[in-house]
Amino acid sequence: MDAPTPHTLDVIKCAEAGTLPGLFQRRCDRTPGGEAYRQYEPARRAWRSYRWEEMNALVGRWRVSLAREGLGAGERVAVLLRNSVEWVCFDQAALSLGLVVVPLYTTDNPENIAYILGDSGACLLLVGEMGQWRVLAPLHERFRQLGRVLCLNQSPNVPLNDGVEVRFIADWLLADAQPVSMRIDEPHGLATVVYTSGTTGRPKGVMLSHHNILSNAEAVSQRVPAYREDVFLSFLPLSHAFERTTGYYLPVMAGSCVAYARSIQDLPDDLLAVRPTVLVSVPRIYERVYARVQRQLAEKGFAARSLYHWAEAIGWRRFEAAQHRAEKPGVAASILWPLLRRLVADKIVSRLGGRLRLAVSGGAALHPRISHCFIALGLPLLQGYGLTEASPVVTANREEDNLPESVGAPVSGVALKIGEKDELFVKGPGVMLGYWNRPEETRSAVDAQGWLRTGDQARIDGSGHVHICGRLKEILVMSTGEKVAPADIEMAITQDPLYEQAMVVGEGKPYLAALLVLNAAAWREAAAALGLDAGAPTSLVQRRVRDRVLEQLHALLRSFPGHAQVRAVWLTLEPWTIENGLVTPTLKLKRPEMERRFASAIADLYAGHIIPA
């Protein structure tokens, strides 16, 4: 085990920072020699470290170069770039000149990006690769106001497009020039337009001010403290409000270091190389680690599985005792725990780098079974809740008051109330300025008293912890009159390693059915056990496979009422991805598109037929 890391609390308050670039400048002035960022350089095959004083100089160069574009305060500039030091430099330079930053998902489709560029009126775009611009260039008629494209990486082929000049950062970025001072000092001014990922219809641009974001970052720092010695590993896209506030501005506020992961595919290696102390993630990452652990346990003998379950049971009892919800484990368990921790817990937690003092899950619901596993094995895992329109964090658990089945209590400055149909309403300094160019929808979302409608159903228990019960618009009403929240059932299904993704259907139908994406490795094992060839095109439609899957689902859903049981299934090995247009950049299912794409399969589920993927 590593020696304890010192904890230096050095938070720059919202009032002191004033604006987002004001926060960055104060951090650079306060700890110039501290490590600010870490980034992998493929040419050197090594990680490079950046100090705050280096970042200050880099941002200054970007500011001078961007100022030469002659853009006026309030004009929008877009960034289509993977998480990187360059993302930070562009963001800080633009904000310091009073420009409004529009972040874009690198995994989004060209049609959606073109819509956002046109809707926001972005006049300048930063891309990472020329390929990103080449697929957008034919759609330029939809965003005619865009006059300049900046490209981070050099390319020999520059596409010609009427009215748009393309320049490479190496040529555009000035090496020596007279510094340009910051031009923004209005905390309540518009800082960014963040487009919601849009599970239905076109995305909406959420307008957030400097104060919106700063106040939220400060509230989060009070609930979940970050320290100067902390190292964050950033892999959620910075275009996601959750990552931008908690994985970018919060570390600046605290003076922590942020290391930028190379990719999701490289994440297991990057975790071991960076060995972060704080991990901010959506549930999908924890689900994947959990599923891998469960698959490996299934391959091992009875003794190994018994040790794991023993370690988890004792670890959970220790956690509950620390939370003052249970008696301390007995003498025998206390004596055994160090051994079980070394043989079981530490080996699993070490896959996340082995140095985590804190893991945070947000963006979607985390199944209690998964949080139970990690917490029991010694990883402090905290779940929270938020939405882009609230900058985004609304509630969060804290280490000393962690109720894993909840999303915690409201952070400082946030007020909550439960409205009609159990809808959760939010009020506080993080509530958005409104939707870009959508005054009617703004008035519908935020009432005259400043209460924001979340669209989520919730309850608040006696201790003040919030429990999210479902989405108002994602409730299935069956032909029997019964109502079910499909997300709860889907979450229960995907805790099993065999099921990579799940979508439950049944609106207006007499029973529920499910579309399921199987994990390839787990399916090969399951097929072998059933005496089937996993690669055969017809294997997934065999009656014995369907019966076996339904039997497993019945076990997974045994805590759900009878009307919430799945009665029919459609199976595939082809994942639903951002690229094939079936999930949002935040990995949420696009239900209307799924229902359209798989209409025939769904129809057959209710006709009594199971068809191949």
DSSP calls for 259-322: EE-S-STTHHHHHHHH--SEEEE-HHHHHHHHHHHHHHHHHS-HHHHHHHHHHHHHHHHHHHHH
Write out pLDDT tens, residues 245-289.
999 999 999 999 999 999 988 999 999 999 999 999 988 788 888
CATH of the domain at 540: 3.30.300.30
Residue 438 within a domain: no
**Looking at residue 395, what is its pLDDT?**
98
**Looking at residue 289, what is its pLDDT?**
87
> Higher model confidence: residue 369 or residue 38?
38
Residue 64 within a domain: yes
Among 127, 162, 185, the domain boundary falls at 185
Work out the percent of the chain whose per-residue pLDDT is above 70. Answer: 96
Write out pLDDT tens, residues 205-230.
999 999 999 999 999 999 999 999 99
Do the Cβ atoms of 38 and 257 come closer than 8 Å? yes
**Looking at residue 518, what is its pLDDT?**
96
Q: How confident is the model at residue 197 (pLDDT cuts 50, 70, 90)?
A: low
Q: How confident is the model at residue 160 (pLDDT cuts 50, 70, 90)?
A: low
List the structure tokens of 323.
């939370």
Predicted confidence (pLDDT) at residue 612 exceeds the cutoff of 50: no
Residue 520 within a domain: yes
Work out the percent of the chain whose per-residue pLDDT is above 90. Answer: 75
**Looking at residue 112, what is its pLDDT?**
87
Find the mean pLDDT for residues 483-493.
86
How many domains would you assign to the chain?
A: 2
Residue 408 within a domain: no
Among 124, 153, 185, the domain boundary falls at 185
Predicted confidence (pLDDT) at residue 163 exceeds the cutoff of 90: no
Find the mean pLDDT for residues 512-534.
93
Predicted confidence (pLDDT) at residue 566 exceeds the cutoff of 80: yes
Residue 285 within a domain: no
DSSP state of 435: E
Q: How, if at all, do strands 393-396 and 358-361 pair?
A: unpaired
Predicted confidence (pLDDT) at residue 181 exceeds the cutoff of 90: no
CATH of the domain at 134: 3.40.50.12780
Q: How confident is the model at residue 472 (pLDDT cuts 50, 70, 90)?
A: confident
Residue 145 within a domain: yes
**CA 383, CA 473: separation in Å to the nearest integer?**
23
Write out pLDDT tens, residues 350-407.
989 999 999 999 887 788 889 999 999 999 999 999 999 999 999 999 999 999 999 9
The residue range of the domain holding 586 is 475-605
**CA 608, CA 368: separation in Å to the nearest integer?**
34
Mean pLDDT, the chain, rounded, equals 92
Strand, helix or coil for residue 354 = coil
Residue 592 within a domain: yes
Residue 365 within a domain: no
Among 185, 203, 236, the domain boundary falls at 185
Write out pLDDT tens, residues 74-103.
999 999 999 999 999 999 999 999 999 999
**Looking at residue 162, what is its pLDDT?**
66
Q: Which range among 47-51, 161-165, 478-482, 491-495 has the greatest average pLDDT?
A: 47-51
- Looking at 203-212, 224-233, 492-501, which range is the least confident one? 492-501
Do the Cβ atoms of 585 and 197 come closer than 8 Å? yes
434 has which bridge partners?
207
Find the mean pLDDT for residues 565-583.
92
